[in-house]
Amino acid sequence: MTGTLPALEQGSLPRGADLLHDPALNKGTAFPMEERDAFGLHGLLPPRVCTQDEQVERVMDNFRKQPNDLAKYVQLIALQDRNETLFYRVLLDNLEEMLPIIYTPTVGQACQEYGHIFRRSRGIFISSRDRGRMKEILRLWPVRDIRMIVVTDGERILGLGDLGANGMGIPVGKLSLYTACAGVNPRLTLPVTLDVGTDNDPLRGDPLYLGLDQRRIRGEEYDALVDEFVWAVQEVFPGAVIQFEDFANANAFPILERYRDRVCTFNDDIQGTAGVSLAGIYSALRITGQYLTDQRVLFLGGGAAGIGVADLVVSALEHEGVCPERARQCCWLVDSKGLVVQSRTDLNERKQRYAHDHPFCPDLLSAVRSLRPNAIIGVSGKPGMFTREVVEAMAEINERPIIFSLSNPTSKTECTAVDAYGWTRGRAVFASGSPFDPVTLDGKRFVPGQGNNAYIFPGVGLGLIACGAQRVTNEMFFVAAKTLAHEVTEADLEQGCIFPSLTRIRDVSAAIAKKVVEVARDAGVAGRPVPEDIESLVRAQMYRPVYRSYV
The confidence score (pLDDT) of residue 9 equals 52
446 membership: H or E segment, kind and range: strand 444-446
pLDDT in tens, 202-220: 999 999 999 999 999 999 9
The confidence score (pLDDT) of residue 10 equals 53
CATH of 109-263 among 3.40.50.2300, 3.40.50.10380, 3.30.930.10, 3.40.50.150? 3.40.50.10380
pLDDT in tens, 486-511: 999 999 999 999 999 999 999 999 99
State the average pLDDT over residues 417-421. Answer: 97
297 membership: H or E segment, kind and range: strand 297-300
Please identify which of the residues 88, 103, 178, 543 carries the catalytic annotation.
Answer: 103
Q: Which of 287, 303, 538, 519 is nearest to 407 (CA)?
A: 303
In contact, 377 and 350? CB cutoff 8 Å: no
Q: Is the pLDDT of residue 27 over 50?
A: yes
State the average pLDDT over residues 137-157. Answer: 97
Architecture in CATH for domain 288-452:
3-Layer(aba) Sandwich (3.40)
Per-residue confidence band for 108, with pLDDT thresholds at 50, 70 and 90 = very high
Clarify whether 174 is annotated catalytic.
yes
The confidence score (pLDDT) of residue 6 equals 47
User: Which class for 440: exposed (0-12), middle (13-18), buried (19 or more C-beta within 10 A)?
Assistant: exposed
pLDDT in tens, 428-448: 999 999 899 999 999 999 999
Bridge partner list, 335: 338
State the average pLDDT over residues 391-398. Answer: 98
The confidence score (pLDDT) of residue 408 equals 87
Residues 491, 224: Cα–Cα separation, whole Å = 51
Exposure on the CB side of residue 455, measured as CA atoms within 13 A = 32
pLDDT in tens, 258-292: 999 999 999 999 999 999 999 999 999 999 999 99
Tell whether omega for the bond before 373 is within 30 degrees of 0, i.e. cis.
Answer: no
Q: Is the pLDDT of residue 376 over 60?
A: yes
Residues 65, 177: Cα–Cα separation, whole Å = 24
Looking at 77-154, which runs of residues are DSSP E strands? 124-127, 148-152
On average, the pLDDT of the chain sits at 95
The confidence score (pLDDT) of residue 3 equals 42
Residues 222, 190: Cα–Cα separation, whole Å = 22
The confidence score (pLDDT) of residue 159 equals 85
Q: Is the pLDDT of residue 347 over 80?
A: yes
Architecture in CATH for domain 455-540:
3-Layer(aba) Sandwich (3.40)
Give percent of the chain above pLDDT 90: 95
In contact, 246 and 170? CB cutoff 8 Å: yes
Q: Is the pLDDT of residue 362 over 80?
A: yes
Tell whether omega for the bond before 105 is within 30 degrees of 0, i.e. cis.
Answer: yes
Q: Is the pLDDT of residue 462 over 80?
A: yes
Residues 485, 262: Cα–Cα separation, whole Å = 30
Q: Is the pLDDT of residue 481 over 60?
A: yes
Residues 257, 244: Cα–Cα separation, whole Å = 12
Residues 497, 431: Cα–Cα separation, whole Å = 8
CA distances from 428 to 86, 192, 404, 450 (A): 40, 40, 10, 14
- Tell me 547's DSSP state: P
Q: Is the pLDDT of residue 316 over 60?
A: yes
Residues 38, 15: Cα–Cα separation, whole Å = 8
The confidence score (pLDDT) of residue 12 equals 82
Domain boundaries, the chain: 109-263, 288-452, 455-540
State the average pLDDT over residues 38-49. Answer: 97
Q: Is the pLDDT of residue 1 over 50?
A: no
Burial annotation 458-475 (CB, 10 A radius, 16+ → b, else e): bbbbbbbbbbbbbbbbbb
The confidence score (pLDDT) of residue 2 equals 40
Please identify which of the residues 174, 412, 514, 515 carries the catalytic annotation.
Answer: 174
Coil, helix or strand for 441?
strand
pLDDT in tens, 329-341: 999 999 999 999 9
Residues 431, 402: Cα–Cα separation, whole Å = 8
Q: Is the pLDDT of residue 253 over 60?
A: yes
The confidence score (pLDDT) of residue 434 equals 86
In contact, 253 and 270? CB cutoff 8 Å: yes
Residues 265, 272: Cα–Cα separation, whole Å = 12
The confidence score (pLDDT) of residue 519 equals 98
Q: Is the pLDDT of residue 142 over 60?
A: yes
Q: Is the pLDDT of residue 11 over 80?
A: no
The confidence score (pLDDT) of residue 4 equals 43
